[in-house]
Structure 1
Amino acid sequence: MLVQVPQLGPGALAGAFVHERHLGRADLPRFEGWWSTEAGTRFEMAPVSRPPATVEAWQVSNPPILAMGPVRTSLELFDAVGMPALRERSVRLTGYLERLLDQVTAGRPLTVVTPRDPARRGCQLSVRIGAGSANELTKRLRHEHGVIADAREPDIVRFAPVPLYSTYHDCWWVADALAATVETNR
């Protein structure tokens, strides 16, 4: 079961999975808010929470409507496309990026460290850089080439071709930008 929990940042929604075995367990520590108490007594604002025996016991506040609009729309898109189709595209797109990165890493101080088996990974590929800072490399990729990557210091740069909107051209762009950026560091 999924429940909305406090916002993590400006306009950001958050959710948490709560296993059904935890329902009705008032003894478990959790954040509590006025929406995590029984609906019939919620507006009494009592000093002691009375959580319902449902997933709503973990809900902290009412969902912000403007932030929920994009979430609802994205869920409709996922329903329309379907997870099997997205996974199939993800495997193809990530495999293509992996082949391009194999070409880029050959003869360079770079190594793709993500498992090769698509069943053991999602759409993200991690590349270990031989020298320098992962943060610095991702900053250069963004500022010099418009490539958004994720850094895990000290030496991992992560690329994620998202199947819903990334293209094969995006993958080529990433590989080309990585090769150019690493070449200028030699």
Structure 2
Amino acid sequence: MKPELKMTILLVCGAMIWGTIFFVGCSANNPKKRAKALAEKVLFESVANPESVTVKAVSEPDSVFGREYVTDEEQMAIAVAMVNINKKVMADTQDLSNLDLSNQETTELMERQMSAMSVIRSLAAPHKPGEPKPPFKGWKVKIEYEALSANGNPYHSEYWFILNKDADCVINSFEIPLL
């Protein structure tokens, strides 16, 4: 092999190696990419049967300002989801007149709905018109998934993760049950 060809091959290989190192280094310093990766990792650590999880969608990380974790639009979407859950529970229990507590699927759905509503009430801090926007505090990532409960019942949910600015710590998380 000619020395010029060897040198060209070495230069190309060296450039590829440095390019890979640069790309990996830059993505490691990207808080948005870290936020997504950490949220997915924590999801699998948070559910009862991680081996049953099927991730349907992962949102792009969105900015969080102050303690305003849930926007007005998100509150409305959550309210619609909760109304749909409520309709299902009412239909399954004949408006709670035939509530069978041994029906694990319905009781688990009701528990997840009540938990979600409690968390949403505590996190929804509406921004008052005319007030300055609070400072940037971190990221939120939403993961839609399906899994099996601890009792083996299938369910569909969206897990929200609120992360700090550096996306190296989850500061809050909650689940929104979906149908």
Report the TM-score, using the length of structure 2 for normalisation: 0.27
Point out the structure with the larger strand share. Answer: 2
> Comparing both chains, which one has the higher relative contact order based on Cα–Cα distances under 8 Å and sequence gaps of 6 or more?
2
